[in-house]
Structure 1
Amino acid sequence: MNRILILPLASALLLAASAPAAARGDRDQDHLRAAAAQGQVIPLGKLIADVRARPPYSDMTYLGGPQFDARRMIYALKFMDGSQVVVVFVDARSGRIVGRKP
């Protein structure tokens, strides 16, 4: 009987926990669209192409799924370097690489 109650309860908790993150993501996208419309940020396609043209990223595979931090105006772009994922942080306003992990 406990198993029957645990699964629906766990599902409900997971859905409730993800709602604030989804709302925050929507706000980030809205902020990004507004900034792009006003010419405050470089278009994502151009940022990706610029990073991919620079060594050592020109030898890496771009994985897609960029993430955007609207508060800092930073994109996180994922690349595959052999068997390691490399995340490159790019300023959306200037196109400058501001960090990398690892």
Structure 2
Amino acid sequence: MIRTLTFSLLSGLLLAAAAPADARGDRDQRHLREAAAQGQVVPLGKLIADVRSRPPYSEMSFLGGPQFDAERMIYKLKFMDGSQVVVVYVDARTGRIVGRNP
């Protein structure tokens, strides 16, 4: 009985914790769609192709799954350079690379 109750409480807490992240992701996607419809951002496919055409990224594998930060209007793109993941930050409005890690 206690085991079932503990499991139920933990499940509820996990679901509650996941909800804000899902809501934020939905809000970011909605903001991105609105900005794209108004021509305020570079289309994602063009943006990825542009970055992939530039050295040193042209020599790396694109890992997919881009992330978008609606507040900063920045895409986070992941590439694989040998055995190291390289994260590239790209301004969604201009397509300009604004950062990299590492």
Normalised by the length of structure 1, the TM-score is: 0.95
Identity of aligned residues (%): 79
* 5+ residue gaps, structure 1: none
Distance 2:7 2:65 in 1: 30
Deviation at 1:69, TM superposition (A): 0.4
Q: Which residue of 1 is the match for residue 84 of structure 2?
A: 84
**Which letter maps to 2:22?**
A
Q: Which digits, 9 at most, give the CA deviation of each residue in 1:4-38, with x for residues without a partner?
A: 33222211111100101101111110110010000
Deviation at 1:96, TM superposition (A): 0.4
Distance 2:81 2:5 in 1: 45
Q: Which residue of 2 is the match for residue 69 of structure 1?
A: 69
How big is the alpha-carbon RMSD for the aligned residues of Structure 1 and Structure 2?
A: 1.0
| Alignment partner of 1:98 is 2:98 | yes
Secondary structure, aligned partner of 1:4: helix
Matches within 5 A, 1:47-66: 47-66=47-66
Deviation at 1:97, TM superposition (A): 0.3
* 5+ residue gaps, structure 2: none
